[in-house]
Amino acid sequence: MCDRERGCSEVPVPKVTTWQLSAGSAVIGLALAAGLIAASGPWDSGQRKAERDWAAARDRTGGADHGSAAHSAGPAPAPSAPGVLAALGGSSAVPTGTGLGKTLGHLMDDPALGRTAGGVVIDAATGRTLYGSEADRPLTPASTVKLATMAAGLSALGPDHRIATTVTATPDGKRLTLRGGGDPTLDRDGLRALADATVKVERDRGVSSVRIAYDTSLYSGPVLHPIGPNDNIAPVSALMTDEGRLGGGSGGSDSEASAEEGDHGPAPRTGDPAGDTARTFASMLADRSVHSTGAPAPGKSPADAKPVARTYSAPLSALVERALTNSDNDIAEAVARQTALAAHEPASFAGAGRAVRAQLKKLGLPLDGARFADGSGLNRQDKVSPTLLATLLTRAGDPAHPELRPILTGLPIAGFTGTLDGRYTDPSGAGGLIHAKTGTLTGVNTLAGTVVDARGRLLAFAFMASGTVSPTAAQSALDRLGTAVASCGCAG
């Protein structure tokens, strides 16, 4: 599923591929040149999940070429956006607050948006707020909180960061430890690479019988998300395979999915992702004539143990794109904990929340009233303002922050990809022009992203609604707001 890079000489290095379709997100003006192109999917456990994204299902990483053939060079960051902002924001007229207010005001009053709604529109080239309604009020963001999680992770770790899974062995080779580094996308191919590399070392030592332990100590705090066992997220463990999925994923946040999409969307989850992974690893060793003397058990590497095999996740840039396009909760929680580790905080829900907030503060983002109870947005205790989300998106397009560019290239594209592939499909709508992260919990509907308006300006927006009654009606109301921003020159 994920591309792997050589950690030890025994682990092969497939090349990271590029998802061409999302290039339109990095060079958003192409969507404008292409013109307008022309529902919602099933509910699952109170939240829609992504995702008929054929590109993500094939593990293509998104708009930028984040891979590199050379391990020493590492994956390149996503491209910076000076050309995008210059082309779309340099000469065209800037919309006025009066014009946008006239266009959006009555749409924000739609009863479908529930008891409380807030929205904001910011000019991406200048950072100037063009429209605001309850823009600074903290509201429950649902999955749009992933924008904050990913911004913090990219800022703290860099887009080329990769998460390692390691096998260590004692000097005599008779005790092996499978040590989780927090990669939720580790798949059977990665485990096979670890098994092959480990068996080579063991054969060289003449060892055919081992004891196997598995180490999840990198993470701390509760393993279960506060929502409890749920098809939308596995227990949060430092060691797991295929996000703890027991079966193929199905349709996600805003669309139905094809049968081939087994790596994203809701699916039954194991209650013991680390133990299952270790047992699968032991079985792979046995298939290669290195047998375990007993069942794998939890434990840390002995002090004298040394690494004998290692495999890596795809670069963080690719994980961010996948998480945003598919609204992937497991990757989001992993990125939050990687951010905590970088900040020397406990890799727990609480530690990750502190680390994310601290990193966003370094980016100069408006955090009044913000709270980060988790990294995925499943927790209703999360609170952010529309201004925070839109300012974050503007910062991601700032040439001074190229490390944040995967946030823009990972946004679902209206009518095309991820959680927006089934929305904005009306030929007269804004398909292809709106790139936005969705968020949906029962009674909560949000949309935050970027759009090219009728005059060619690149705008960042965030619309948030709480206390909604009909998810379909609320999503339609949000889509009308996005379409209005796209179609309105609003210079008068």
* Per-residue pLDDT reduced to its tens digit, 85-114: 444 444 567 777 787 888 899 999 999 999
List b or e across 55-84, with b for residues whose CB sees 16 or more CB atoms inside 10 angstroms. Answer: bbbebbbbbbbbbbeeeeebbbbbbbbeeb
pLDDT tens digit string along 409-464? 999 999 999 999 999 888 767 888 999 999 999 999 999 999 988 888 899 999 99
More confident position, 88 or 400: 400
Task: Average the pLDDT over each of 116-125, 267-276, 449-458 and give the range with the smallest value.
Answer: 449-458
What is the per-residue DSSP string for 93-148?
PPPPHHHHHHHHHHHHT-GGG-SEEEEEEEETTT--EEEEESTT--B--GGGHHHH
Distance of CA 345 to the CA centre of its chain: 21
For the beta carbon of residue 354, count every other beta carbon within 10 angstroms: 16
Q: How far apart are CA 423 and CA 485, in angstroms?
A: 16
Q: What is the pLDDT of residue 274?
A: 98
With H, G, I as helix, E, B as strand and everything else as coil, classify residue 385.
Answer: coil
Q: What is the pLDDT of residue 491?
A: 65
Q: For residues 388 and 443, is the Cβ–Cβ distance under 8 A? A: no
Would you place residue 261 in the very low, low, confident or very high pLDDT band (cuts 50, 70, 90)?
Answer: low
Q: What is the pLDDT of residue 9?
A: 30
The encoded tokens of residue 264 equal 């994203």
**Has residue 31 got a pLDDT over 70?**
no
Q: In one letter, which amino acid is 415? A: G
Q: For residues 388 and 365, is the Cβ–Cβ distance under 8 A? A: yes
Cα end-to-end distance, the chain, whole Å = 50
Q: For residues 352 and 359, is the Cβ–Cβ distance under 8 A? A: no
pLDDT tens digit string along 159-214? 999 999 999 999 999 999 999 999 999 999 999 999 999 999 999 999 999 999 99
What is the mean pLDDT of the segment spanning 328-333?
A: 98
- The DSSP symbol for 233 reads B
Q: Tell me the chain's radius of gyration from C-alpha atoms.
A: 23
- The DSSP symbol for 76 reads P
The encoded tokens of residue 443 equal 């009674």
**Has residue 18 got a pLDDT over 60?**
no
Distance of CA 417 to the CA centre of its chain: 14
Which residues are designated catalytic?
A: 143, 146, 327
Q: For residues 396 and 437, is the Cβ–Cβ distance under 8 A? A: no
Q: How far apart are CA 51 and CA 327, in angstroms?
A: 8
Q: What is the pLDDT of residue 426?
A: 81
Query: Helix crossing, 188-205 with 273-287: angle to 10°?
Result: 50
More confident position, 36 or 302: 302
Q: For residues 329 and 50, is the Cβ–Cβ distance under 8 A? A: no
- The DSSP symbol for 4 reads -
What does the mean pLDDT of the chain come to? 82
Q: State what percent of residues in the chain have pLDDT above 70.
A: 77
Q: What is the pLDDT of residue 211?
A: 97
Q: State what percent of residues in the chain have pLDDT above 90.
A: 70
pLDDT tens digit string along 384-394? 999 999 999 99
Pairing verdict, β 291-292 and 209-215? parallel
Would you place residue 27 in the very low, low, confident or very high pLDDT band (cuts 50, 70, 90)?
Answer: very low
With H, G, I as helix, E, B as strand and everything else as coil, classify residue 336.
Answer: helix
The encoded tokens of residue 131 equal 């429209």
Q: For residues 438 and 147, is the Cβ–Cβ distance under 8 A? A: no
Q: What is the pLDDT of residue 10?
A: 35
**Has residue 155 got a pLDDT over 50?**
yes
pLDDT tens digit string along 56-96? 333 433 333 333 333 334 444 444 444 344 444 445 677 77
Shortest CA distance to 208 belongs to which of 284, 288, 278, 283? 288
The encoded tokens of residue 51 equal 């995702």
Q: How far apart are CA 426 and CA 424, in angstroms?
A: 6
Contacts of 120 (CB under 8 A, 6+ apart): 129, 131, 132, 133, 135, 386, 387, 390, 461, 462
Q: What is the reported pTM?
A: 0.81
Q: How far is CA 13 from CA 159, 189, 239, 311, 313, in A?
A: 19, 12, 21, 9, 11
Task: Average the pLDDT over each of 80-84, 142-146, 179-183, 271-275 and give the range with the smallest value.
Answer: 80-84
Q: What angle do CA 374, 375, 377 make, to 5 degrees?
A: 75
What is the per-residue DSSP string for 144-208?
GHHHHHHHHHHHHH-TT---EEEEEE-TTS-EEEEE--SBTT--HHHHHHHHHHHHHHHHHHT--
Q: For residues 394 and 122, is the Cβ–Cβ distance under 8 A? A: yes
* CA contacts within 13 A on the Cβ side of 45: 17
Shortest CA distance to 108 belongs to which of 120, 97, 99? 120
